[in-house]
């Protein structure tokens, strides 16, 4: 048993003004592989049980997750998407080639109405990613009008398509990866284009837009610097993409076959998002010292080789307990940076990269990553509690190091929630949660996610190999809680003091 693993709640350092934006638990749905078609949407005529075309099992799973925001329609797809192709009777909609993702024929049966209705069914905010790369200013301006205006030509078109009332649209992305698949712009040129596009995205009928500039990928600090310098006064947010990936050329490694060294490397790479966020945030501080502008990590997660035998352009990957650890550690980082990080969107919600759910025909499995999002629900909208963590540090490949105990904590409605991860593959830990005073915690409840082996995953023939279970390994003492944390486990505890 490892000793001296301690988490001290710094109640004296709480800033009651700070909030873990629920949007940090956001999702991303792109027209890519089976994310939309087969994942979220099967169409109203499908034999797969559905509600107006949305599959019931996935709808319920996402409702249970309290999804706060969903980004759509891409990704790279967004900069080749023409919204007019996705309105009106489905049978009359034109098809297109999905050039980014396997050359699949897109039939546009899932379009604006289908996306906004889905957000209404889930009770989440829509986040629209606008086409800048191959679209026009007029096209994007009219899309916003179609969605949000009470009256006028675009509102009439919407009404003809069966939607009388406008929808609310807050989050509007102006382009995606504009340095790459979104147009190969230079940051200087993109900044000017951004300024122009956002000018014509009007606020109709009391709708308020939160305009998001297309930001950098991981270590591209120059992009953030130039776009902030030239366009900061015209934006509410700027994005950042960071994938836990071994590299962009050649094999990215298997999702399910890996060594302990690969596992620890993965955690080191995942945790590197923290200094990356800090460096982008420091650049933002130069132009926005009052922190008005949000940093939105609107794509993140693990990216492995596709499952053998599946279309390489469809990015279908399995999801093990290792991915669950990446989810927990990344969410912990986001919760430490609530002053800047106002939204994040894991890539992607279904059947693509680090998904919440996998589907095959009428079957669905919940992934280990899904359960982490479920365990972390109490943190949504809560006040972060600063922590001191004492634990063992392990050196991992590529000159990085990883703390064996990882933690995050928050307070909401008089309840404290602490999430702990013992990332050690072999050692149980006895963790002391120091409460910072002499009180004894009451009404402790908890749940645990762990697995027999770190490469365990849920599949259609074994859907419940890795699932959430009640946790009873926490005991209250005067001024502390003692927790027996099994190796490779994630635990969330809620209690009152
Ligand atoms: O999430 C998959 C792809 O990754 C997105 O389409 C793109 O924005 C990023 O490169």
CATH of the domain at 93: 3.20.20.80
Residue of 27, 30, 104 to mutate, ligand 1, most atoms within 8 A of C-beta: 30
Neighbours of 129 (CB within 10 A): 30
Region 389-408: mean pLDDT is 97
> Is the link from the previous residue into 348 a cis peptide, with omega within 30 of 0?
yes
- Active site amino acids: 177, 299
Cα separation of 271 and 300, whole Å? 12
Last residue of a domain, one of 381, 410, 431: 381
Q: Token digits for 414?
A: 């008089």
Query: Are 395 and 289 members of one domain?
Result: no
Nearest of 147, 157, 192, 150 to residue 174 by alpha carbon = 192
Query: Are 436 and 355 members of one domain?
Result: no
Query: Are 157 and 292 members of one domain?
Result: yes
Residue of 179, 180, 181 to mutate, ligand 1, most atoms within 8 A of C-beta: 181
Query: Are 256 and 399 members of one domain?
Result: no
Query: Are 359 and 399 members of one domain?
Result: no
The answer to whether position 78 is within a domain reads yes
Ligand 1 atom having least distance to the Cα of 76: 6
Ligand 1 atom having least distance to the Cα of 77: 6
Give the distance from CA 365 to its chain's centroid.
19
Whether residue 1 is predicted with pLDDT greater than 70 in this model: the reply is no
> Is the link from the previous residue into 413 a cis peptide, with omega within 30 of 0?
no
Compute CA distances 123 → 119, 303, 342, 397, 430, whole Å: 6, 28, 19, 42, 40
Burial of 429 from C-beta contacts in 10 A (0-12 / 13-18 / 19+): buried
Ligand 1 mean position to 124 CA, how many Å? 22
Ligand 1 mean position to 76 CA, how many Å? 6
Ligand 1 mean position to 30 CA, how many Å? 9
Nearest of 242, 135, 144 to residue 193 by alpha carbon = 135
Beta bridge partners, 6, equal 390, 432
Ligand 1 atom 9 nearest Cα:
75
Whether residue 265 is predicted with pLDDT greater than 60 in this model: the reply is yes
Cα separation of 77 and 108, whole Å? 12
Query: Are 432 and 372 members of one domain?
Result: no
Ligand 1 atom 7 nearest Cα:
75
The answer to whether position 355 is within a domain reads yes
Residue 30 near residue 72, CB atoms below 8 Å = yes
Confidence of residue 3 (pLDDT cuts 50, 70, 90): low
The answer to whether position 15 is within a domain reads no
The answer to whether position 56 is within a domain reads yes
Query: Full-prediction pTM beyond 0.80?
Result: yes
The answer to whether position 253 is within a domain reads yes
Ligand 1 mean position to 184 CA, how many Å? 14
Ligand 1 mean position to 239 CA, how many Å? 13
Give the pLDDT of residue 2. 39
Ligand 1 atom having least distance to the Cα of 182: 8
What is residue 305's DSSP assignment?
A: P
Ligand 1 mean position to 26 CA, how many Å? 15
Ligand 1 atom 4 nearest Cα:
75
Cα separation of 181 and 189, whole Å? 15
Ligand 1 atom 3 nearest Cα:
75
Strands 429-434 and 442-450: unpaired
Compute CA distances 180 → 21, 127, 216, 294, whole Å: 29, 21, 10, 22
What are the pocket residues of ligand 1 if the criterion is a CB atom closer than 6 Å to any ligand atom? Answer: 30, 74-76, 176-177, 299, 347-348, 353
Ligand 1 atom having least distance to the Cα of 348: 1
Last residue of a domain, one of 381, 401, 426: 381
Ligand 1 mean position to 270 CA, how many Å? 17
Cα separation of 69 and 123, whole Å? 9
Region 220-235: mean pLDDT is 98
Q: What is the CA radius of gyration of the chain?
A: 22
* Strand (E) or helix (H) holding 297: strand 294-302
ipTM over 0.95: yes
Cα separation of 243 and 276, whole Å? 12
Q: Token digits for 389?
A: 């963590």
Whether residue 473 is predicted with pLDDT greater than 50 in this model: the reply is yes
Ligand 1 atom 1 nearest Cα:
347
Query: Are 365 and 467 members of one domain?
Result: no
The answer to whether position 449 is within a domain reads yes
Give the pLDDT of residue 49. 98
Ligand 1 atom having least distance to the Cα of 78: 6
> Is the link from the previous residue into 73 a cis peptide, with omega within 30 of 0?
yes
* 308-355 residue pLDDT tens: 999 999 999 999 999 999 999 999 999 999 999 999 999 999 999 999
Whether residue 424 is predicted with pLDDT greater than 90 in this model: the reply is yes
The answer to whether position 266 is within a domain reads yes
The answer to whether position 479 is within a domain reads yes
Residue of 241, 314, 350 to mutate, ligand 1, most atoms within 8 A of C-beta: 241
Give the pLDDT of residue 4. 86
Last residue of a domain, one of 356, 381, 406: 381
Give the distance from CA 468 to its chain's centroid.
20
Ligand 1 mean position to 79 CA, how many Å? 11
* 59-98 residue pLDDT tens: 999 999 999 999 999 999 999 999 999 999 999 999 999 9
Query: Are 369 and 449 members of one domain?
Result: no
Ligand 1 atom 2 nearest Cα:
75
Nearest of 388, 403, 406 to residue 324 by alpha carbon = 406
Ligand 1 atom having least distance to the Cα of 30: 6
Ligand 1 mean position to 214 CA, how many Å? 13
Cα separation of 236 and 250, whole Å? 37
Residue of 76, 102, 175, 301 to mutate, ligand 1, most atoms within 8 A of C-beta: 76
Ligand 1 atom 6 nearest Cα:
75
Where in the sequence is the domain holding 488, given as residue range(s)? 2-10+385-496
> Is the link from the previous residue into 57 a cis peptide, with omega within 30 of 0?
no
Cα separation of 39 and 27, whole Å? 13
Query: Are 277 and 391 members of one domain?
Result: no
- Looking at the structure of the chain, the number of domains it has is 2
CATH of the domain at 457: 2.60.40.1180
Query: Are 370 and 412 members of one domain?
Result: no
* 12-53 residue pLDDT tens: 999 999 999 999 999 999 999 999 999 999 999 999 999 999
Query: Are 30 and 174 members of one domain?
Result: yes
Query: Are 307 and 335 members of one domain?
Result: yes
Ligand 1 atom having least distance to the Cα of 176: 8
């Amino acid at each position: 048993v490892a000793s001296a693993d301690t988490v001290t709640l710094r109640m004296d350092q709480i800033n009651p003004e700070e909030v873990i934006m629920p949007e940090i638990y956001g999702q991303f749905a792109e027209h890519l592989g089976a994310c939309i078609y087969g994942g979220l949407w099967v169409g109203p005529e499908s034999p797969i049980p559905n509600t107006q075309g949305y599959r019931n099992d996935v709808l319920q799973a996402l409702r249970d997750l309290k999804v706060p925001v969903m980004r759509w329609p891409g990704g790279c797809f967004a900069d080749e998407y023409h919204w007019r192709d996705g309105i009106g009777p489905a049978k009359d909609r034109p098809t297109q080639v999905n050039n980014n993702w396997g050359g699949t024929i897109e039939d546009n049966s899932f379009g604006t109405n289908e996306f906004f209705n889905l957000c209404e069914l889930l009770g989440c905010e829509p986040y629209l990613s606008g086409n800048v790369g191959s679209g026009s200013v007029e096209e994007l301006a009219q899309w916003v009008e179609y969605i949000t205006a009470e009256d006028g030509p675009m509102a009439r078109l919407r009404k003809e398509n069966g939607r009388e009332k406008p929808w609310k649209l807050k989050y509007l992305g102006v382009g995606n990866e504009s340095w790459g698949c979104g147009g190969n712009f230079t940051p200087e040129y993109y900044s000017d284009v951004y300024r122009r596009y956002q000018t014509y995205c009007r606020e109709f009928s009391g709708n308020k837009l939160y305009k998001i500039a297309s930001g950098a990928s991981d270590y591209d600090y120059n992009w953030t610097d130039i776009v902030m310098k030239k366009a900061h006064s015209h934006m509410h947010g700027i994005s950042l993409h960071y994938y836990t990936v071994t590299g962009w050329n050649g094999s990215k490694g298997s999702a399910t076959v890996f060594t302990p060294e690969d596992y620890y490397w993965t955690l080191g790479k995942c945790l590197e998002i923290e200094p990356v966020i800090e460096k982008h945030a420091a650049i933002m501080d130069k132009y926005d010292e009052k922190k008005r502008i949000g940093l939105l990590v609107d794509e993140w997660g693990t990216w492995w080789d596709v499952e053998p035998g599946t279309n390489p352009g469809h990015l279908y990957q399995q999801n093990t307990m290792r991915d669950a650890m990446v989810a927990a550690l990344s969410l912990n980082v986001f919760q430490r940076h609530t002053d800047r990080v106002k939204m994040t969107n894991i890539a992607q919600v279904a059947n693509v990269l680090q998904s919440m759910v996998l589907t095959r025909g009428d079957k669905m499995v919940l992934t280990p990553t899904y359960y982490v999002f479920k365990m972390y629900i109490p943190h949504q909208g809560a006040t972060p509690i600063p922590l001191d963590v004492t634990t063992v540090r392990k050196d991992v490949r590529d000159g990085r190091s990883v703390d064996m105990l990882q933690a995050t904590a928050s307070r909401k409605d008089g309840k404290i929630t602490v999430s702990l991860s013992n990332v050690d593959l072999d050692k149980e830990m006895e963790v002391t949660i120091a409460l910072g005073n002499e009180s004894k915690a009451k009404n402790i409840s908890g749940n645990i996610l762990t697995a027999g082996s770190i490469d365990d995953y849920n599949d259609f023939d074994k859907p419940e190999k890795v699932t959430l279970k009640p946790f009873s390994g926490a005991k209250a003492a005067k001024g502390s809680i003692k927790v027996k944390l099994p190796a490779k486990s994630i635990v969330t505890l809620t209690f009152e003091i």
